[in-house]
Amino acid sequence: MAQIYDKVALIGLGLIASSMFWAMKRAGVAGHVSGYARSQSTRDTARRIGLCDTVCDSAAEAVKDADLVVLAVPVGAMGAVAAEIGPHLKRGATVTDVGSVKRQVIEAVGPHLPEGVHFVPGHPLAGTEHSGPESGFATLFDNRWCLLVPAEGSDPEAVDRLTRYWRALGSNVDIMDADHHDLVLAVTSHAPHLIAYTMVGVADHLRRVTDSEVIKFSAAGFRDFTRIAASDPTMWRDVFLNNKDATLDILGRFTEELFVLQRAIRMGDGDMLHDYFTRTRAIRRGIIDAGQDTAAPDFGRTKVEK
Amino acid sequence: MAQIYDKVALIGLGLIASSMFWAMKRAGVAGHVSGYARSQSTRDTARRIGLCDTVCDSAAEAVKDADLVVLAVPVGAMGAVAAEIGPHLKRGATVTDVGSVKRQVIEAVGPHLPEGVHFVPGHPLAGTEHSGPESGFATLFDNRWCLLVPAEGSDPEAVDRLTRYWRALGSNVDIMDADHHDLVLAVTSHAPHLIAYTMVGVADHLRRVTDSEVIKFSAAGFRDFTRIAASDPTMWRDVFLNNKDATLDILGRFTEELFVLQRAIRMGDGDMLHDYFTRTRAIRRGIIDAGQDTAAPDFGRTKVEK
């Protein structure tokens, strides 16, 4: 595949950035990839495993002469990183990010970027429950969606180039408005994560049901929640604090709906429950048809050996 | 492996019973397996795919001379099935079930079983989001747990034989008291299922976020809920109606906990959220260590082709 950017800088070297690096190498879309992580131990690991062509000891050094700068730090750290790199950005460079929240990131990052730098916020909808520089892999973005959220008046050429870049990394790309993005993600990701964290927390608190029983007998449904609730704590703290309104809105609707179902259980309204569960089953079919999951039973989990 | 029962009768031919049949054939533990399903179309399918050595047109005929009778119908149908087969059971036979709720099943089934028949209720903690006679497979129970819930005074030989039978089908076996079972399962299975149904229902209702977006961008967390919420509606209606108290108890705790986390988001209490999410991550580790899930990212899902 043809090179799209001469130099790409990855700021933050966790799951997403490390996967981007391996996917860039697979696609051959970047001439040189520099990387920076705040922690010395992450930088050491990156050097040891060959993550990035150059690992730099400062963000300023990493972004020097870069044509594309990717902010891949927790949402709450985006503003500070932008302030740090702003003065060192090349004129004509594109800055993007991979944050799960867009409105707050735009407000935090935008003011720090100089004239002549193109800011095209983005969000690859991909991830696993693992984190850190060693968790990345080249196929993470294959057939997943990457949402780009350009501001009004963004340079169309910069948006188009970034679109081609994400497609080369394996993604489908869609363009979306920031507020709509934050609402859609509150439904498809943020509320489900908080709910999973909550259910796992409840199980943890229950002393009548010992920990070992909850773990031993988790295959009956609970373990799928624990995978979601094993996601990176810092990243998710920042997501909730920075997409507060949409998340609280969806959680409010969720609680309302839960109370309706709880009442149906209490009153013994079997028809209502059956109708409800029949409707939700159809949604699953849509996700399989859209190619966003496997129809293999149990996600096609490979057999777990003890 | 040595034969454990001369004749086994499967009453109900859904996911669990059909998996039991293929697992029995794999292990060679049953001389003859008869089966019965209420619906003519299920019986036709079973005959067509070779599910059961004999498919009978009545439950009474299926249980004739059986050494082990497995009730594999929704929890709400157990009592009626027991009433139907009671007079036809062989003296010395063992009757078990695979229901997800134990106290109510024991109360519904017990009174219909004649003297000299051993009732050893059971619950294999295994399943997928698929249902029906064609959804079964021989490895479903491998390394999963089967909980047996014998009443006080149960014949130890009957319990021991059923234990050996489930082990031959690939399961680990544990013995538990009925009420404790119903509480543990409310935590590990029933409440998580209702929560998943609720979240999928909320997404379905939201007209501001179109259906297609929810489905298209589901990979960010939501799709794991949809798998759980695609489970058999009749089975789950009956589970909730028959494990009402424990499920409502856990859901009450869940809501309480959710409100605490919602409040932390509203107040911007990042430390509280971070601590909470760090704790829940550790539980996941326990489940991997216990061999009840895979540590492969994203459950080791095979790549989904469009």
Tokens of B80: 């009626």
- pLDDT above 60 (res A138): yes
User: Of the given ranges (B133-137, B207-211, B290-294), which has the lowest mean pLDDT?
Assistant: B207-211
- The more confidently predicted of residues A296 and B49 is B49
Please give the pLDDT value at position A194: 95
Quote the minimal CA–CA distance from A75 to chain B in Å: 13
Q: What average pLDDT score do residues B270-283 get?
A: 91
Distance of CA B164 to the CA centre of its chain: 19
| Closest CA of chain A from B189, distance in Å | 5
pLDDT score of A278: 92
Average pLDDT of span B180-191: 93
Predicted confidence band at B303 (pLDDT cuts at 50, 70, 90)? very low
Q: Report the residue from B127, B183, B281 with minimal CB separation from A233.
A: B281
The secondary element (H helix, E strand) that includes residue A68 is strand A68-71
What pLDDT is stored for residue B127 in this prediction? 87
Q: What is the DSSP string of A257-298?
A: HHHHHHHHHHHT-HHHHHHHHHHHHHHHHHHHHTTSS--SGG
Residue A211: per-residue pLDDT = 65
Predicted confidence band at B298 (pLDDT cuts at 50, 70, 90)? low
Asked if B222's CB is within 8 angstroms of A187's CB, the reply is yes
Mean pLDDT of A121-142: 94
Q: Tell me: pLDDT of A258 over 60.
A: yes
Contact A298 B200 (CB under 8 A): no
The SS3 call for residue B281 is helix
User: What pLDDT sits at residue A303?
Assistant: 47
Task: Tell me phi and psi for residue B113, to 5 degrees.
Answer: -95, 130
Q: For chain B, what are the domain ranges?
A: 5-176, 180-295
Q: CB–CB of A218 and B268 under 8 A?
A: no
Q: What pLDDT digit, counting tens, does each position of B73-106 carry?
A: 999 999 999 999 999 999 999 999 999 999 999 9
Q: Is the ipTM of this complex over 0.90?
A: no
| Residue ranges with strand state E in chain B | 5-11, 30-36, 54-55, 68-71, 94-97, 118-119, 122-124, 145-148, 172-175
The Cα-based distances of A51 to A9, A168, B113 in angstroms read 12, 19, 67
Q: What is the pLDDT of residue A47?
A: 98
- The alpha carbon of residue A144 is apart from the nearest alpha carbon of chain B, in Å, by 7
CB contact under 8 A, B241 and A268: yes
Q: Which two tokens stand for residue B63?
A: 């249980």
Q: Which of B98, B235, B239, B287 to mutate to test the interface with A (most CBs of A within 10 A)?
A: B287
Mutation site, B147, B204, B271, B277, interface A, largest A CB count within 10 A: B277
Q: How confident is the model at residue B155 (pLDDT cuts 50, 70, 90)?
A: very high
Reading the block at residue B43, the tokens are: 């019986």
Q: In this prediction, what percent of chain B has a pLDDT beyond 70?
A: 95
pLDDT at position A300: 62
Question: Is the domain defined by A180-295 classed in CATH 3.30.70.100?
Answer: no
B195, B220, B284 member nearest A195 (Cβ) = B195
Asked if the Cβ–Cβ distance from A257 to B205 is below 8 Å, we say: yes
Cα dihedral across residues A40, A45, A48, A53: positive or negative: negative
- Per-residue pLDDT at B219 exceeds 80: no
CA–CA dist B166, B172 (Å, integer): 7
For residue B90, CA distances in Å to A163, A206, B62, B85 come to 70, 43, 11, 10
pLDDT for position B306:
38
A244 vs B contacts (CB less than 8 Å):
265-266, 268
Q: Is B111 exposed, middle or buried (0-12, 13-18, 19+ CB in 10 A)?
A: exposed
- The amino acid occupying position B193 is H
Distance CA B146, CA B144 (A): 7
- Token output for A296: 């293999």
pLDDT-derived band of residue A298, with 50, 70 and 90 as boundaries? low
Give B136-153 pLDDT, tens digit per residue. 999 999 999 999 999 888
> In which element (H, E) is residue A72 found?
none
Tell me if A195 and B200 make a contact (CB, 8 A cut-off). Answer: no
- Weakest mean pLDDT among A106-110, B216-220, B297-301: B297-301
User: Percent helix, strand, coil in chain A (nearest 5)?
Assistant: 55, 10, 35
Torsion of the alpha carbons at A137, A142, A144 and A148, rounded to the nearest 10: 90
Mean pLDDT of A52-76: 98
More confident residue, A246 or A300: A246
Question: CA A22 from chain center: how many Å?
Answer: 17
Count contacts between A and B (CB, < 8 Å): 370
Closest residue to B221, CB basis, from A189, A241, A290: A189
Residue among A129, A248, A294 minimizing CB distance to B262: A248
- pLDDT over threshold 60, residue B304: no
- Reported pTM: 0.88
CB contact under 8 A, B293 and A281: no
Give chain B positions within 8 Å (CB) of A277. 197, 229, 231, 233, 236-237
Return the residue of A nearest to B275 by Cα. Answer: A233
pLDDT at B1 over 70: no
Among the ranges given (A211-225, A271-285, B52-66), the one the predictor scored with the smallest mean pLDDT: A211-225
- pLDDT of B202 over the 70 cut: yes
Q: What is the pLDDT of residue A265?
A: 97
Q: If you average pLDDT over every residue of chain A, what do you get? A: 92
**Beta-carbon separation of B202 and A185 below 8 A:** no
Four-way CATH pick for B5-176: 1.10.3720.10, 3.30.200.20, 3.65.10.10, 3.40.50.720: 3.40.50.720
CB-CB contact of A281 with B193 (8 Å): no
What's the confidence (pLDDT) of residue A306? 38
Per cent of chain B over pLDDT 90 is 77
Phi, psi angles (nearest 5°) of residue B94: -105, 135
What's the rounded mean pLDDT across residues A38-60? 98
Q: Are B6 and B32 in contact (CB under 8 A)?
A: yes
